[in-house]
């Protein structure tokens, strides 16, 4: 379950803070964007209608700044799971020089789309991840 997925991000002007680089909070948004793109790409419409994901925890290490108009490759892969919880890792790398910008570990919780309550991760979900 460690097949990496890549998603391209282009830094926009509203991502930049008063220091002239991407704001730290935006990296969290990027990590979520990469994870959502992964699920949207691999999950069937049936799975998307049956399940939702919610973040329980973000851990992020900031390595290098990103700047306006940078192109960033966001790579994600999943780790261990337990019950309704799943680890997801994200690495953000600037395309022009391959510098690692940030690395994140996020804990996600699988929800039943109808009840909005946590639900155990099933084989059907594991098979697509």
Mean pLDDT score across all residues of the chain: 95
Instruction: Calculate mean pLDDT across residues 45-55.
Output: 96
pLDDT in tens, 59-105: 999 999 999 999 999 999 999 999 999 999 999 999 999 999 999 99
The b-or-e profile of 6-25 (16+ CB within 10 A means b, else e) is ebebebeeebbeeeebbeee
Contact assessment for residue 111 and residue 53, using Cβ atoms and an 8 Å cutoff: yes
pLDDT in tens, 1-26: 467 999 999 999 999 999 999 999 99
pTM over 0.75: yes
CATH class label, 5-128? alpha beta
Position 109 confidence tier, pLDDT thresholds 50, 70, 90: very high
Contact assessment for residue 108 and residue 53, using Cβ atoms and an 8 Å cutoff: yes
The residues spanned by each domain of the chain are 5-128
- Report phi then psi at 63, rounded to 5: -105, -50
């Amino acid at each position: 379950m460690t097949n990496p997925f890549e998603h391209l991000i282009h830094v926009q002007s509203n991502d930049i803070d008063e220091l002239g680089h991407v704001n730290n909070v935006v990296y969290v948004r990027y990590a979520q964007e990469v994870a959502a793109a992964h699920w949207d790409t691999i999950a069937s419409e049936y799975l998307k209608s049956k399940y939702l994901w919610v973040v329980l925890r973000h851990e992020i290490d900031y390595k290098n700044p990103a700047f306006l108009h940078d192109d960033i490759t966001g790579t994600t892969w999943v780790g261990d799971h337990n019950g309704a919880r799943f680890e997801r890792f994200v690495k953000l790398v600037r395309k022009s020089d391959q510098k690692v910008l940030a690395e994140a570990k996020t804990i996600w919780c699988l929800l039943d789309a109808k009840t909005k309550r946590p639900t155990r991760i099933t084989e059907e979900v594991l098979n697509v991840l």
